[in-house]
Copies of this chain bind each other. A is one copy, B any other.
Amino acid sequence: MTSKPDLTPEEFRRYGYQVIDWIAGYLDNAGSYPVLPAMQPGDLAAQLPAAAPEESETMDSILNDFDKLIVPALTHWNHPRFHAYFANSSTGPGILAEALCAAVNVNGMLWKSAPAATELEQVTLGWLRQWLGLPRDWFGIIYDTASISSMHAIAAAREMADPEIRRRGSAAGLVLYTSQHAHSSIEKAAITLGIGQDNVRKIPVDDQFRLQVADLKSAVEADAAVGKKPFCVVPTVGTTSTSSIDPVAAVAEIAEAHGMWMHVDAAYGGSAAVVPEYQQIVFDGVHRAHSLVVNPHKWLFTPMDISVFYTREPEILRRAFSLSAEYLKTAEDTSAVNYMDYGIQLGRRFRALKLWFVMRYFGHLKIAQMLRNHIEWAQRLTTLIRAHPDFEVVAPTPFSLICFRHRGTDEQNRALLERINATGKSFLSHTVLNGRYVLRLAIGNIATTWHDLEQTWKTIQNESHDTIHFHPENT
Contact = CB atoms under 8 A, between A and B. Distances in A.
Contacts of A320: 191
Given A6-B93, A52-B124, A98-B98, 9 more contacts: A5-B370, A23-B103, A69-B116, A75-B112, A96-B99, A148-B345, A170-B196, A192-B193, A331-B418
A211 to B, nearest CB: 17
A17 B84 CA distance: 33
A104 B326 contact: no
A260 B19 CA distance: 48
Q: Report which residue of A19, A193, A354 has the largest number of chain B beta carbons within 10 angstroms of its beta carbon.
A: A19
B20 A167 contact: no
* Copies of this chain, whole number: 2
Interface string A417-430: 01000000000011
A132 to B, nearest CB: 11
A322 to B, nearest CB: 9
Contacts of A332: 41
Interface string A263-284: 0000000000000000000000
A257 interface: no
A314 interface: no
A305 interface: yes
Interface string A97-114: 011111111110001111
Given A93-B7, A185-B346, A430 B102 contact: no
Chain A interface size, as a band, is: 35 or more
A89 interface: yes
Interface stretch (A247-255, A358-366, A391-399, A465-473): A358-366
A431 B51 contact: no
Interface centre among A100, A123, A183, A440 (most CB of B within 10 A): A100
11 contacts: A6-B92, A11-B92, A16-B96, A53-B364, A66-B100, A78-B103, A145-B345, A147-B345, A170-B170, A327-B429, A327-B440
Nearest to A186: B323
Nearest to A127: B52
A94 B103 CA distance: 9
A449 interface: yes
B12 A24 contact: yes
A452 B19 CA distance: 32
Interface string A153-172: 00100000000011111111
A340 to B, nearest CB: 9
Nearest to A74: B116
A437 to B, nearest CB: 9
